[in-house]
Amino acid sequence: MTDVVFPVLSQEKQEATGLLSTWYVTDGQQVAAETLLAEVQMDKVDAEVVAPVAGVIHLLVAEESEVSQGTVIARID
């Protein structure tokens, strides 16, 4: 099982949070490595989250949720 984490977008603010604005996949979906999974926003910066490995994704955080950077947002089996 591989964790998918909310990216660290601010080195200055270790406790900073951001918004998981959009999931591009659904829970239980088969994904390939490098598949675009989600878009996140933090301090006016948008970033994309891609799958580090291929497998079945299990979403742990809902869209439009406020999330601390480094938090596990999904897992891939």
* Predicted TM-score (pTM) of this structure: 0.88
What residue ranges do the domains of the chain occupy? 2-76
What's residue 11's pLDDT? Answer: 67
Q: Domain 2-76: which topology?
A: OB fold (Dihydrolipoamide Acetyltransferase, E2P) (2.40.50)
> Nearest CA to 37 among 19, 58, 18, 16?
58
Residue with tokens 């809902």: 62
**Rounded CA separation 22/24 (Å):** 6
14-55 confidence digits (pLDDT tens): 677 889 999 999 999 999 999 999 999 987 788 999 999 999
| More confident of the two residues 13 and 32 | 32
